[in-house]
């Protein structure tokens, strides 16, 4: 199927057909129950990841496969994972939620975690999926942190990405990590940062206790912003010189012009974590990317206006974009 034309770029003031809302916690909206079956995949470096398969799924060998990469401290129980997996099940596709290392409820084996630019991990997962289901149409969806990592992978691989997946979707991805990190350090967003850091610090301190010398536990414990945490833990553990170096090298934005696989990038103009002025311009996008920026949707929100029994625009938009590539 031909890649979308650059004309599909939509400016931040574009208003989609449905009116979108944002200031409602996802937990207050109806969410599907999705049964999962877990597989553990050993990684080439001697670690593991846990992958949750949405059931029921004795699907045909050639049934399309949808792989989801979650956001910061996410998992298969997140509202977006359940919605995308519901959409996958309804279409008769296989749905897989890939847990980044340390995010499945069990510490990983090696002295490393996961980060926004971990495109090598994305590549290994998608190559394994392609080898397991070579006759199937394959899709990848990345949310927030996972969306940035997926887009970076697609740009780095260029045309080679089309051998592994037929289409991608990124949702609320912070393509400019420095801008996103700065936004999370301001105003009410610091409440969200506090919740992220509670689990990030706990996991990091546990890892440093298992692997003394990996990072400075005092700096980790004292971190109060994502910059502090990334400077104290994420950067040194994963080979970056510091948070500035990590945010610069891990950002997908410089790679977007090289993306060749058809990709929907869905970002809200009122996303509190992804400032609208940090989004890529049309000139920075390849012709394969459809950037949609509705005026509302928040961070991974995207639901219809009140009054609908089934409010999730997010699920519907992802499914509608991928459906033509399943043929």
Catalytic residue among 79, 99, 115, 299: 299
The pLDDT, as a whole number, for residue 60 is 74
Of 168, 173, 177, 150, nearest in space to 267 by CA = 173
Q: How confident is the model at residue 13 (pLDDT cuts 50, 70, 90)?
A: very low
pTM of the model: 0.91
Contact by Cβ (8 Å): 41, 121: no
Give the pLDDT score at 16. Answer: 36
Structure-model confidence comparison of residues 175 and 309, the more confident one: 175
**High-pLDDT (> 70) share of the chain, %:** 88
144 is catalytic: yes
Query: Tens digits of per-residue pLDDT, 208-219?
Result: 999 999 999 999
> What confidence tens digit (pLDDT) does each residue in 249-302 have?
999 999 999 999 999 999 999 898 899 999 999 999 999 999 999 988 889 988
Query: Which pLDDT does position 309 carry in this prediction?
Result: 73
| 299 flagged as catalytic | yes
Residue partners of 77: CB distance under 8 A and separation at least 6: none
What are 296-319's pLDDT values in tens digits? 888 998 888 766 777 889 999 999
Residues of the chain within CATH 3.40.50.1820 domain(s) are 6-176+251-326
What letter does residue 101 receive in the DSSP assignment?
Answer: T
Q: Which of 50, 118, 231, 271 is catalytic?
A: 271
Mean pLDDT for all residues in the chain = 89
Catalytically annotated residue among 104, 144, 223, 286: 144
- For the purposes of burial, counting CB atoms within 10 Å of the CB of 213, is it exposed (0-12), middle (13-18) or buried (19 or more)? exposed
In DSSP notation, 107-160 reads --SSS----TT-HHHHHHHHHHHHHHSTTS-EEEEEETHHHHHHHHHHHHHGGG
CATH topology of domain 6-176+251-326: Rossmann fold (3.40.50)
């Amino acid at each position: 199927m031909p890649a979308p034309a650059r004309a599909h770029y939509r400016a931040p003031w574009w208003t989609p057909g449905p009116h979108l809302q944002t200031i409602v916690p996802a937990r207050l909206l109806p969410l599907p129950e999705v049964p999962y079956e877990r597989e553990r995949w050993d990684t080439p470096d001697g670690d593991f990841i846990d992958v949750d398969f949405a059931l029921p799924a004795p699907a045909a060998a050639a049934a399309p496969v949808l792989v989801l990469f979650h956001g910061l401290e996410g998992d298969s129980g997140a509202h977006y994972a359940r919605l995308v997996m519901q959409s996958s099940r309804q279409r008769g596709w296989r749905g897989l939620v890939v847990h980044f290392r340390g995010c499945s409820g069990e510490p990983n084996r090696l002295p490393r975690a996961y980060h926004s630019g971990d495109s090598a991990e994305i590549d290994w997962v998608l190559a394994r999926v392609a080898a397991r289901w070579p006759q199937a149409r394959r899709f990848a969806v990345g949310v927030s942190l996972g969306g940035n990592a997926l887009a970076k992978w697609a740009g780095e691989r260029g045309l080679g990405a089309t051998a592994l997946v037929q289409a991608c979707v990124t949702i609320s991805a912070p393509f400019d990590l420095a801008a996103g990190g700065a936004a999370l350090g301001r105003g009410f967003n610091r409440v969200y940062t506090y919740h992220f850091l509670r689990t990030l610090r706990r996991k990091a301190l546990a890892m440093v206790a298992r692997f003394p010398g990996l990072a400075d536990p005092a700096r980790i414990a004292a971190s109060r912003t994502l910059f502090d945490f990334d400077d104290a833990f994420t950067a040194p553990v994963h080979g970056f010189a510091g948070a500035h170096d990590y945010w610069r090298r891990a950002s997908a934005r410089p790679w977007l012009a090289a993306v060749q696989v058809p990709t929907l990038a869905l970002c809200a103009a009122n996303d509190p974590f992804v400032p609208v002025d940090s989004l890529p311009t049309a000139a920075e996008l390849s012709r394969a990317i459809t950037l949609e920026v509705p005026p509302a949707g928040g961070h991974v929100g995207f639901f219809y206006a009140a009054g609908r029994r089934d409010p999730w625009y997010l699920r519907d938009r992802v499914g509608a974009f991928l459906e033509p590539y399943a043929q």
